[in-house]
Amino acid sequence: MHADNRPDGPAAPEPATAWPALRRAIRDSTLSIGLLHLPTMRFVEMSAPATALLGLEDADLASVDAVTMSEEPENTRRALELVADGVIDGYQTRRKLRGPADSCIQAYISVRVIARDDGSEHDLAVFDGFDPSTDDAGMFDSEAVLVVGIVDGSQHVESVSTDVAAVAGQSADEITLHPLLDLVHPDDMARALAAFEAANQPDTQTSVVVRARDGAGGWRLVRLAVARFGDDTGRYGFALGPEDTGPPAITPDRVTELEYRLRRIAREIEAAGIIEAFDKFPDLEKVPGLRDLTARQWEIISRLLRGERVPTIARQMYLSQSTIRNHLASIFRKVGVHSQPELLELLHGGSTPTTGSASTH
């Protein structure tokens, strides 16, 4: 149990009356998640996997403070204040948390605003360690895929996944070498720049909701997530994904839909987190086929570079293993290899495949 060390800290209020079904969906979820009230930085609901991970099974959530449970309380406070002030709409970071019996838990935490209504602001905090049921494999196959890429220190696009055309109406070749912010509505430019500035914190990814060009002369809401690479190049990985216009209809008969939406949010957060691995990509000029990959294929390669195997990748991406293998076969063709070992050798700086390998086109 983590007591609040702030002497005059107000108790977290109950969410608005429209929220009981959402709270129940979070409480009963198989994801490791919690609902955080931003003004007080306290949790008002948490799933069983989350309470087990944090050793809070018997705790009164009214006393669980997101700041004091962190081993880096000031960093946590500053990050949540940025979210509460509307500078960013969410962030991801690695944190050491205080676990049961004075233990320390290494966790990857994602925070995302899911509502700003009636003067109440709530975050969905997703903790590392959720393990979705295998029955859900493939449930996200029809979901829109994130657009991912790399920008330099001045936000000019170095590379971007091919599915950017579906979002911006321009091909990857047309966007490469141009400022990423050219895609953002002028009135949202400051928010996008603030996300890049906030992402300068080590091991931190930030996100904001902005309007982006839709390729038909209009604008659509998208979530822009950015993370600075850990080297001294000043480059960032970025992801663009669809943004819901609001929380799902919260009625007692729609808890199943709520759980689905919570899982989708968790999936989007997890996928966006892969951008931190982009700095491990080989020189794209040396492996031209990498420029022909979709966002899903970028993510699969990022996971391979992190040492994950196909079963783990499938589980974390909510896809079947056969779907992952189909994506790998497409990657093999595009970069000109025949097997996963050849692909890994190429990604780790090995020689480009010789004549007789699969076509890179």
Greater confidence (94 vs 347) lies with 347
pLDDT of 254 higher than 90: no
d(CA 193, CA 208): 10
Where is average pLDDT lowest: 60-69, 133-142, 178-187, 294-303? 133-142
Q: Per CATH, which fold does 136-247+255-266 belong to? A: Beta-Lactamase (3.30.450)
Record the tokens describing residue 320, joined without a space: 């079947």
Whether the per-residue pLDDT at 279 is higher than 80: the answer is no
State how far the alpha carbon of 232 is from the alpha carbons of 22, 155, 279, in Å: 43, 15, 11
Gap between the Cα atoms of 174 and 21, Å rounded: 45
Model confidence at 30, pLDDT cuts 50, 70, 90, reads confident
Q: Which of 329, 257, 261, 317 is nearest to 293 (CA)?
A: 329
Please, which residues have CB within 8 angstroms of residue 71's CB and are 6 or more apart in sequence? 95, 96, 97, 98, 104
Predicted pLDDT of residue 103: 79
**Cα separation of 244 and 91, whole Å?**
17
Distance CA 133, CA 141 (A): 15
DSSP structure class, residue 186: G
Measured from the Cβ of residue 178, the count of other Cβ atoms closer than 10 Å reads 13
**Strand order, beta sheet including 42-46:** 42-46, 33-37, 120-127, 104-117, 90-98, 204-213, 219-228, 236-242, 147-151, 157-160
Residues of the chain with CATH 3.30.450.20: 20-131, 136-247+255-266
Q: Name which of 183, 155, 187 is nearest 169 in CA terms.
A: 183
> Roughly what angle, to the nearest 10 degrees, separates helices 20-28 and 255-273?
60
Q: Is the overall model pTM greater than 0.85, yes or no? A: no
Q: Which of 13-27, 34-48, 130-144 has the lowest mean pLDDT?
A: 130-144
Highest CATH level, class, for 20-131: alpha beta
pLDDT at 234: 84
Q: What is the per-residue pLDDT for 136?
A: 40
pLDDT value of residue 128: 53
Give one DSSP letter per residue of 87-113, joined into a string.
Answer: S-SEEEEEEEEE-GGG-EEEEEEEEEE
**Which CATH architecture group holds 280-347?**
Orthogonal Bundle (1.10)
